[in-house]
Amino acid sequence: MATASETLQQSPIAYFVAGVIVSATYFYFTNPKSRPRGEDVNVDDGEWDDDSQEEDHDADHPLLNKSNPSSSWGYMDAPYKMVLCVNQDLGMGKGKIAAQCGHAAVGCYKRAQKQCPTALSAWERTGCAKIAVKCPNEEEMSSIFDKAVQMGIPLYLVEDAGRTQIAAGSRTVLGLGPAPVRVFDGVTSHLKLM
């Protein structure tokens, strides 16, 4: 007499169920449109304040239009990288620099989702390269900002809230990219690594 597990393994229904599960799982993981989209959750309890002001002015951002060069970047433009320009004039501690770079990286990522999603996908699939460089002062940061806008590079400028080490409104980190490595020539190529 056959046991229940042997009967189940040999039954056509078991093969059918297994086939449905395997094909549904394959479709779910290979088709991004099939996945449910999560809702953005914004939790602000005040206790975990990280000293940055994050204002999203995407609605009127000049880089978010289809004529921008970054909207045509794709996998063929690889390799990609993200550059985080840290303002050295402010004398920030290592922890402060790390937090501000984190804000810049997340801001750049969100901006790239809207400005150049294909480039963002290519960056993610090619290792998510990021570098932090020393920017000597705010004037140099402004110059880099202007060049990046001309090149169509996604960018995010972090201004500190001024609750710990430095004055409110201080421009701490300018995040650039992700963008093809070749685009950064003449923009940040002269800056030294952190």
Q: What tens digit of pLDDT does each residue of 144-171 get?
A: 999 999 999 999 999 998 888 899 999 9
C-alpha to C-alpha distances, 35 to 17, 21, 122, nearest whole angstrom: 21, 16, 20
Torsions phi, psi of 35, nearest 5? -80, 140
Torsions phi, psi of 193, nearest 5? -65, 150
Rounded Cα distance between 40 and 113, Å, is: 14
**Angular region, 55: left φ>0, alpha ψ -120 to 50, beta rest:** beta
Torsions phi, psi of 78, nearest 5? -65, 155
| Domain boundaries defined on the chain | 62-184
pLDDT bucket at 31, cuts 50 / 70 / 90? low
pLDDT of residue 72: 79
pLDDT of residue 77: 84
Nearest partner of 183 among 37, 79, 94, judged by Cα: 79
Rounded Cα distance between 171 and 157, Å, is: 7
Q: Provide the token pair at 193.
A: 């690594």
Q: Provide the token pair at 65.
A: 């239009």
Which of 14-18, 95-99, 130-134 has the lowest average pLDDT? Answer: 14-18
Provide CATH code, domain 62-184: 3.40.1490.10
Between the two ends of the chain, the Cα-to-Cα distance in Å is: 72
- 36 pLDDT above the threshold of 90: no
Q: Provide the token pair at 185.
A: 């020539």
Q: What is the mean pLDDT of residues 171-180?
A: 97
Q: What is the mean pLDDT of residues 81-105?
A: 96
pLDDT of residue 67: 55
Which of 57-71, 77-91, 107-121, 167-181 has the lowest average pLDDT? Answer: 57-71
Omega of the bond leading into 117 within 30 degrees of 0 (cis) = no
Q: What is the mean pLDDT of residues 177-194?
A: 95
Which of 59-73, 94-108, 131-145 has the lowest average pLDDT? Answer: 59-73
